[in-house]
Structure 1
Amino acid sequence: MTHLRVPTIVSLAMLLAAAGCTATDPVGTGAGQRESPVVVDPGRSGPGGPDGTDGPGSGDHRVRYDWAVPSQTVVIRNDVRPPVAPRPAPPLPYLVEIEATDHVDTDPAYSRISFVFRSGFPSYEVGYQPRIVFDGTGEPVDLAGDCFLQIRFVSAQAHDAYGRMSVQRSPGPQLRLGSLRGYGFAGDYEGRVTYGLGIDPAGGPDQPPPVRVAEVGLGDRFVVAVDVGY
């Protein structure tokens, strides 16, 4: 297993295919034809998350989206009731770390990018998109690969009470882990934190790889793990 963790903060964005890798526009982007998202409501597994949020308890693992191709936006809901922590902590779950790992000896083989939050699990939206753009400006995000997967965290933030970036550790933007070629930041705006993944499918852009999304509670770390098939 290759484990990448670099103490630098990097801009990221969300993803989908350029030519054959097609999908609908995520809610609110205006990039394409809108389609009703697939909504996954919260379901408890174990004792639940901290006050103000739903989700697995410490040490628990819960798959929220299991090995499928999100050709339309999938909305995964957690119950976030701000403020989720007393001051001076931010009022919403906040992103503190990004990790990237390779799992080549599993069946199926996959690459994983993990988003580590404090104070609880946010809700989030996952789906392939024709392009990834910055929230607020609509400018395209530069990503390697032929397909682009967007991950938008809702009721979340990536900054502290002073407006400083809260991400303390992250890998470089070029990953080169299986079909996962890189990632990029696409916005931290009005309670939404957006990232994109650049993917180079082995079968070409018309065959985007399946994706799995899981939540893991590790003490004060609330991990949303996005697995991308080889």
Structure 2
Amino acid sequence: MTRLPSLALIVLLAACTPEATGTGANKSPTNAATASATERSNPTPNASTTKKADGSWTEPTQKVTVPHNPAVPLVPVLVEVRAGDHTGDGYERITFAFRGPLPSYSFQIVRQVVRDGSGDPVTLPGTTKLSIVFTPARSEAGTGPRDVGYRRLRGYEQVGDYEGYVSYGLGVEGTAQVRYGESTRPDGTNVVALDIRV
């Protein structure tokens, strides 16, 4: 049996060692939702992070993925999207309300929001574009663009409801510092809120 020189053995072992992924908030998401969201939104070329809501502000130049694992076939249904102006408290908010459990979701600043399926560019007001993708999910919230006209959040539009993915594009004026949170309303709907700092 031929013995490998010690340097070759070290190189061979290094090639077989799994890549370190860090802990908790720094792991790269590996689920299909993350891959599909990347394909759908023309993201800026950065790594991904997986997080739980912690109330801190971030400029999501990297994709932020929040995992949930609803039991299929109970697919979460988006029933309402609403924008609110809370500038007195330092933010503007968009909420996504779901009947059933919360889906996983990813959001990120992108160069261009594109329509699912066709890949056609979507025109949104504002200088910064945000993409948010929910999966597994379907929508009953309507598809048309909404001009909001707030100081930061200028508008939003549903750009996809296809094969378990619901996608939205947001148009923001200037730098988009966001935070996110989750809550349950008295009527049982589960809500994802994105706050945009003013």
**Deviation beyond 6 Å, 4+ runs, structure 1:** none
SS at match of 1:105: helix
What is the deviation of 1:30? 7.1
Contact 2:110 2:129 in 1 (8 A): yes
Q: How does 1:174-185 map to 2 (within 5 A)?
A: 174-185=147-158
What is the deviation of 1:127? 0.5
Contact 1:180 1:228 in 2 (8 A): yes
Counterpart position of 1:222: 190
Give the aligned residue type for 1:176: G
What is the deviation of 1:34? 4.8
Aligned residues: CA RMSD: 2.2
Find the aligned partners of 2:184 and 2:37 in 1 and give their Cα distance: 27
Contact 1:26 1:34 in 2 (8 A): no
CA deviation digits over 1:101-135, x for unaligned, max 9? 111221xx110010110011010001000010011
Give the aligned residue type for 2:155: G
Counterpart position of 2:176: 209
Counterpart position of 1:74: 64
Which of 67, 89, 100 is the equivalent residue of 2:83? 100
Contact 1:100 1:171 in 2 (8 A): no
Aligned length in residues: 162
What is the deviation of 1:33? 6.2
Find the aligned partners of 1:228 and 1:124 in 2 and give their Cα distance: 17
Find the aligned partners of 1:78 and 1:32 in 2 and give their Cα distance: 22
Find the aligned partners of 2:145 and 2:159 in 1 and give their Cα distance: 15
Among all aligned residue pairs of Structure 1 and Structure 2, give the percentage whose two residues are the same amino acid. 33
Structure 2 unaligned residues grouped into runs of 5+: 1-35
Q: How does 1:36-55 map to 2 (within 5 A)?
A: 36-40=47-51
Counterpart position of 2:168: 195
Contact 1:26 1:127 in 2 (8 A): no
Q: Do structure 1's residue 121 and structure 2's residue 94 form an aligned pair?
A: no
Q: Do structure 1's residue 28 and structure 2's residue 33 form an aligned pair?
A: no
Q: TM-score, normalised by structure 2?
A: 0.75
SS at match of 1:68: coil
Q: How does 1:159-178 map to 2 (within 5 A)?
A: 166-167=140-141, 173-178=146-151
Structure 1 unaligned residues grouped into runs of 5+: 1-24, 43-62, 85-91, 159-165, 202-207
| The structure with more helix, counted as a fraction of residues | 2
Higher-Rg member (1/2): 2
> Which is bigger in relative contact order (C-alpha 8 A, separation at least 6)?
1
Q: Do structure 1's residue 143 and structure 2's residue 124 form an aligned pair?
A: yes
Find the aligned partners of 2:115 and 2:161 in 1 and give their Cα distance: 9
C-alpha change, 1:33 and 1:190, in structure 2 (3 Å) is same
SS at match of 1:78: coil
C-alpha change, 1:80 and 1:34, in structure 2 (3 Å) is farther
C-alpha change, 1:71 and 1:35, in structure 2 (3 Å) is closer
